[in-house]
Structure 1
Amino acid sequence: MAKLAATFIKSKDLEPGRYQDGAGLFLNVTKSGTRSWVVRLQSNGKRRDFGLGSFPTVSLQRARELAVETRETLARGLDPKSEKVRLRSIPTFEAAAKSVFDANKGEWRNAKHRAQWWTTLETYAFPKIGEMQVNEIDTDHVLAVLAPIWTAKPETARRVRQRIVMVLDWATGKKLREHPLHVRGVNQALPKVKRSIRHHPAMEYSEIAAFLVMLRQRETMARLALELLILTATRSNEVRLAKWCEFDLDQGEWTIPASRMKAGKKHVVPLPPRAVKILERARELKTVGQDYVFAGARRGKPLSDMALLKIMRDMSLEAVPHGFRSSFRDWVSEETDYPRDIAEAALAHTIRDKTEAAYRRGKLLEKRRRLMGEWAAYCDRTND
Structure 2
Amino acid sequence: MKRPRRLSPSFVSAIKRPGRYGDGHGGLGLSLLVRPRRAGGLSKTWAQRVILGGKPTNIGLGSYPVVNLTEARSRALSNRRAIEHGGDPRAKSRAVPTFAEAAERTIEIQSQAWKKGSKSEGQWRSTLKKYVLAQLGGQPVDKIQPRDVMRVLLPIWATLPESARRIRQRISIIMRWAIAQGYRTDNPAGDALAVALPRIASADNHMRALPYVRVAGALCRVRASGAHPARALCFEFLALCAVRSSEARFARWSEIDEENAIWTIPAERMKANRTHRVPLSARALQVLSLARKLADASGFVFPSATGRPLGQNSLTRLCRKLGLDCVPHGMRSSFRDWCAERSDAPREVCELALAHVNSNRVERAYRRSDLFDRRRQLMEEWAQYLVGPDSRGESGGR
**TM-score, normalized by length of structure 2?**
0.46
- Structure index of larger Rg: 1
**TM-score, normalized by length of structure 1?**
0.47
